[in-house]
Chains A and B, each alone.
Chain A
Amino acid sequence: MAIFKNCDGTTRRDFLRAGVFGTTGLTLASYSQLAAASHVNPNAKGKAAIFVNLNGGPSHMDTFDLKPDAPSEYRGEFNPIQTCLSGVTISEHLPKLAACMDKFTLLRGVSHSVAAHELGTKYVNTGNRPLPSLEFPGYGAVITKERPGQEELPSFVAIPNSSQRPGYLGVKYAPMNTTSTPVMGQAYRVRGITMAGGLTVEDLERRRGLLTQIDRTFSDVEKDSQLLDGMDEFGRQAHTVISSTKAREAFDISKESPEFSQAFGTTPLGASCLLALRLVESGVRFVTVSNGGWDTHNDNWTALRTRQLPPLDEALSALFNGLAARGLLDSTVVYVTGEFGRTPKINSTRNGRDHYPRNMFMLLGGGGVRGGQVLGESDETASMPKHEGFSPDDVAASFYHAMGIDHTYEYHTSTGRPVMIVRDGRVIPQLFS
């Protein structure tokens, strides 16, 4: 009976086989590798990814899609500045990003129709329009499943937490949440990874010695039980992760040289981006960085000018430049997005802009994505894509493509429904031309 039933009549063998005499020598890792078959291209340029989630929905018109000639009820206070790409302008409050636009593609005219924070966030974190009956897995869960990382490190880290839930793939693909944001220049403690105060590697070694001596009740039967054998393996791995200097060093941003750290600034976003870079450098496969405050219904321009844009400009440019300087940009995809844009027409009563999914921007760079270009275009008031535009699904499909994962591959949910990784997207060819 060790067979899962799928809705389309196919069957697949349960990895934790429970049949009479159904024994397989598969460990979780080798199973994952087995599962990663033809739909994964291990030679793809993207080996790791950093996803920066700008929670609240950043105003596209005041950042990357300015319309200086639009009527005053649309235009906004900020002026455009030239970037390092000829003829391309962005907001005057993003000068550092303007100078490194050769490192990523700016997508304008990305469009969808989900104007609520939670649902919009789910959409851009999964590449699938949310359904009430099925939770789609976030990018990090899919990537962890298809391209698991090294043993000493978690594959998927969220700083400080993530909207990318494992959905129908199951909890084992959930991120390791750092639960706090690192502070520049300070030693950084992470739940479960950092050795808790007072405990030393020597203490741990000693305790581990005792544990292996007393955890022997099942030793005669453990090889016949996937559960007991698996837990034994996880026990060894956990010890490796906890006692590995590699993991602890990677998380500890204070170990970074001051010269390199400096460019990231002193903000939480900067420290998070630096941590993301260090993790990727050590071999973590997927890192999400969450940054809030973009829901600027009130005093949009003050908030952006003083609070939101300077840290973004500093942190993101340092991330792109830092990855390039370390030789990691070619193998690391960076994906930056909010859940939607903001209303082109100014809400004059509150001097702000409200939720607006019909037109927004996204940034995609590294890992084989061609930098130094703007794809897509919005109309005169940045209200709609001028031409066909892109959907979040398209960008998701392209992102998976960069990571060597076929987005049309079908998973089966736990109840046996076949679902494509991205159900409705097409790879945007110009990103890779």
Chain B
Amino acid sequence: MKFHKSLALFATLLATVASTLHADEPPAPVTVSVAQRFAAADAAEVPDFQKHIVPLLGKLGCNGRACHGSFQGRGGFRLSLFGYDFATDHDELYGRVDTETAAQSLILQKGLMEIQHEGGQRLKPGSWEHHLMLRWVQAGAPPRVPDPPSLLRLEVTPSEILFNTAGQQQPLTAIAVWSNGVREDVTALCRFQTNDDQIADITQNGLVTAAEPGDTHVVAFYDSAVVPVPVIRPVTPQFGDQYPQVAAPTRIDELVVQKLRKIGVVQSDTCSDAEFLRRASLDVTGTLPTPAEIREFLANQSPDKRARKIDELLERPGYVAWWTTRICDITGNSDDKLNNVTPVQAEASKQWYEWVEKRVRENMPWDRIVEGIVLANSRNPGETYQQYCENISRLYHKDGPGASGYAERQGLAHFWARQNFQTSEDRVIAFAYTFLGTRIQCAQCHKHPFDQWTQDDFKQFEGFFKSTVGRQNARPDAKADYDKMLAELQGTEGLKGNDLRRVLAEQLAKGATVPLGEVYTTKVQARAANRNRPATPAQRRGNGPAPATAKILAGPVVDLTQVEDARQPLMDWLRSPENPLFAKAFVNRVWASYFNVGIVQPADDLNLANPPVNAPLLDYLAKGFIEHQFDMKWLHREILNSRTYQLSWIPNSTNRHDERNFSRAVPRRLPAEIAWDIMMQASLSTEKNSEFVTALDKRALSIPGSGLRQRNRNPADYALTVFGRSIRESNCDCDRSDEPSLLQTIFVQNDGQVLSMLDSQDGWLAETCKQNGLQFTRKSSDDAAAAQQARARTQLKTRFKEQLKKLEEQLAAAEEKQAEKQIASLKAQIRKLRDQAVARGVIEADAADVAAAEQQAVAQGTPQLNTDAIITDAWLRTLSRMPTDNELQTAKTWIAESKDPVEGIRGVLWALLNTREFIVNH
């Protein structure tokens, strides 16, 4: 992971460790384990503090969180958690050793339980551990050596373990390779962990034991190294040479099958065309295919119709909206966190959405989108403060371009203005989450337990984030302009905070230019270190002046005084092909959106101890993504066209329990926005249904921000909350929840909003009634509406009766006069009136009338109830497939047994929306 040297910027700054090892030289002999070297009590060797003492304390559990690694310490004795603070740890230990009479040292007496120790006996008398500690104390308890060598790597063998029966065992050996050429067997000093003890267990001596079939990793930890070792016990006898011949048309398929071959799992068959169309439409565009589209796709005989459909889907607005939403998720577009960032509330989140939307629409390469975020300042290059205020103010003017005008700005400055992105510590955490898919926060306070990062790495990385100001009025050199502009605006005198913002919003509405806050960066100045000056409160909080240097994670130290913007080297590092995480983080998230789980899972938790389930696959995609200049559509296309993506969810005898190795499709609950959108889409009329494919207004997919402030403004808010739309505030992909819940089910079954949606004037039910000659009646969930309808019906009835009475009186009079012509006319009028009344539900039609009407309908070809077609349509618009014969019969019978056909059809639609098949993608 050495940083790319060709970047001239770093050429002079690289603090690379010159390795004394050359590939063609035989490696130095391996020093045998401390367990042997200190087996006897009289070993002469002096243990090394970093190499031996601290790892041993870790292994014995002394610096664990429940013990002395706790931030409060235990019994007044505190060690750094997971031990990477050598100076402090030495100080603490040194106060508890007696170098004159070593055996009297508190750390030995306590560890041996010679005196009371809450943590129990950690050292067995006469053990190598005891001897090692004793020898160290006897030698004067030396600290870490000055200018210590660094750990180049930890070589763990074997590098992969294949078991075939339960109970089989395999010891691991770990060799530490140091920068000074020393190679030492440190197996006895490593901590070990299994990632799934149901598949393989591991002892603290590194002995791995097979359990259930499956695959997992065991992990060795030593110093800063974290090394995972795959453990596989095949699931069936069909593995390796016994594996059947299977199709693997794309590189993705080859790599997936390569892994499956090892574990003896065979992929399912490919899914049906209908399943493919539904799955891909929902995954790519968050939209259901229309019934017409399904019929057309099923009828299409072309062999490349799936590939063509993928291309088509990637050009639809739904793709743009969905991936804009996902990028807003991971970048943190939250109304709550953007409070007061713009003079008009909730505008910041809209502008943010528009900025991302334009770039996704244009398929701008991912690294260039990120560049616009990482290097964002509020002002475009060359803009004066005055121009900046004019340009931004225009967005709010009545005749201005609105939030979409913000998309034309070079940078997404709002990213830096978020409330939870102000301290450099918060920035490191959020940056690592968003762009590296890594949870670095552990290293904020201690050595990361699952990764290489130390607290020092974290602190030195903070330097890149300290010279950007996120929530200020104006850049200091523009303060005078700011004051002047404010003074020229009426009604702002003496106002601050919310009061001022209110007036500014009013001024904007009137078309004025108002002074605005800005995100800006200052050049890092070289300054002489003044050790004597006490830290200011800001410095103690970690917000001090930017340091002159910062260090790339697992990379070189950068002299920040040599660059205009401290974030530039950070961005160069991000997009460099050598960056170990940037491409993988995005690729893994995209993969996870198509396969329920990432190649690394959780998808935003890339760390050494959480290795990819299929490393060659992740490497291939990341490399391809980089080679294709971070072209997002290349990535989508590559995945969608694989056979692996197009597998059926129906398992075979080998992969029933596999949800991690991509041997079949895994049913997954639809994301909140899509779940709600398709409930609407499925229940709307044919015309409105198809509008979902082309238009995005009124869709949950295009709601810009998240957060409480947004709530109750959009009718979808309740549904989106219940279905777990991302809250975008805690730097975790889990801010979005795809878990089912009781409230969700209650919502779809019985919420007034859903039930009245079925009865919508624009709905499919109303349309179907019309087309089938049925009287559409609402079963409205809205009491007020129902009451109004009842009132209206009563009025109609009264009016009908009055009119009928009048006509009947006229008829009686005419009959008396025997005016035949008039009688015929009046009779016709009465008949017409009755028909109208029946049609409007005012009176019940009598049996003779119904029979007559039906006869007439047959004769005239007026619409007739076609239950089969209705049911088929209902299935197509919800489950995107034809009903089976059985389902057709069930639904038919159910409709026939319902009070009336309308209620029957309504019930069928309700039931379909409530099936699991509807709400999961499969």
Contact = CB atoms under 8 A, between A and B. Distances in A.
A427 to B, nearest CB: 19
A234 B740 contact: yes
B657 A199 contact: no
B723 to A, nearest CB: 9
Interface stretch (B191-199, B279-287, B838-846): B191-199
Contact of B737 (A2, A134, A171): A171
B749 interface: yes
Contacts of A193: 746, 750
Contacts of B450: 5, 9
Contact of B660 (A1, A207, A235, A413): A1
A77 interface: no
A204 B442 CA distance: 51
A135 B730 contact: yes
Interface in A184-224: 189, 191-193, 195-199, 203-204, 206-207, 209-211, 213-215, 217-218, 220-222, 224
A9 B449 contact: yes
Contacts, number: 240
Given A1-B196, A5-B605, A239-B749, A210 B730 contact: no
A416 B744 CA distance: 27
Interface residues of B, number: 99
A197 B783 contact: yes
A132 interface: yes
B914 interface: yes
Contact of B610 (A1, A154, A179, A227): A1
A217 B886 CA distance: 12
Interface string A144-184: 00000000001000000000000010111010100100000
Given A5-B610, A198-B786, A214-B891, A171 B915 contact: no
B745 A133 contact: no
B426 A133 contact: yes
A179 B193 CA distance: 48
B755 interface: yes
A16 interface: yes
A215 B915 contact: yes
B730 A215 contact: no
A interface majority secondary structure: loop
B426 A132 contact: yes
A82 interface: no
Contacts of B740: 227, 230-231, 234
A16 B235 CA distance: 21
A8 B779 contact: no
A22 B198 CA distance: 8
Interface string A230-260: 1110110111011000000000000000000
A230 B916 CA distance: 10
Contacts of B914: 211, 215, 235
B910 interface: yes
A199 B781 contact: yes
B199 A415 contact: no
Interface string B642-658: 00000001110000111
A32 B334 CA distance: 31
Interface stretch (B209-217, B526-534, B765-773): B209-217
A172 B739 contact: yes
* Residue of B212, B442, B747, B898 most packed against chain A (CB within 10 A): B442
Given A5-B609, A221-B649, A415 B920 contact: no
Given A198-B781, A199-B779, A211-B914, A20 B658 contact: yes
Contacts of B879: 217
Contacts of A203: 907
Interface in B743-775: 743-747, 749-752, 755-756
B7 interface: no
B891 A192 contact: no
A48 B890 CA distance: 45
A113 interface: no
A226 to B, nearest CB: 9
Given A207-B910, A218-B917, A237-B742, A22 B782 contact: no
B916 A416 contact: no
Contact of B607 (A5, A16, A21, A176): A5
B155 to A, nearest CB: 23
Given A1-B195, A215-B917, A18 B65 contact: no
B64 interface: yes
B730 A413 contact: yes
B634 interface: no
Of B214, B730, B745, B752, the most chain A CB neighbours within 10 A belong to B745
A221 B656 contact: yes
Contacts of B911: 207, 210-211, 214-215
A85 interface: no
Contacts of A418: 65
Contacts of A430: none
A415 B730 contact: yes
Contacts of B747: 192
A171 B721 contact: yes
A19 B199 CA distance: 9
A133 to B, nearest CB: 6
A238 B667 contact: no
B750 A227 contact: no
Interface string B429-456: 1000000000101100000011000000
B429 A2 contact: no
A241 B746 contact: yes
A306 B815 CA distance: 73
B749 A238 contact: yes
B426 A7 contact: no
A228 interface: yes
B157 interface: no
B543 to A, nearest CB: 13
B661 interface: yes
Interface in A1-26: 1-3, 5, 7-11, 16, 18-23
Given A168-B730, A214-B890, A238-B742, A132 B420 contact: yes
B215 A20 contact: yes
Contacts of A218: 667, 916-917, 922
A417 interface: yes
A19, A170, A204, A234, most chain B CB atoms within 10 A: A19
9 contacts: A8-B81, A19-B216, A133-B730, A197-B752, A199-B755, A214-B890, A221-B656, A237-B742, A417-B442
Interface of B: 64-65, 81-82, 193, 195-196, 198-199, 212-217, 235, 263, 265, 337, 419-420, 422, 426, 429, 439, 441-442, 449-450, 597, 601, 605, 607, 609-610, 613, 649-651, 656-661, 666-669, 718, 721-722, 724, 729-732, 734, 737, 739-747, 749-752, 755-756, 778-783, 786, 879, 887, 890-891, 894, 898, 907-908, 910-912, 914-917, 919-920, 922
- A-B interface, 5 closest residue pairs, ranked by CB to CB distance from nearest: A196-B781, A9-B449, A20-B214, A238-B745, A8-B65
Interface of A: 1-3, 5, 7-11, 16, 18-23, 132-135, 154, 168, 170-172, 174, 176, 179, 189, 191-193, 195-199, 203-204, 206-207, 209-211, 213-215, 217-218, 220-222, 224-225, 227-228, 230-232, 234-235, 237-239, 241-242, 413-418
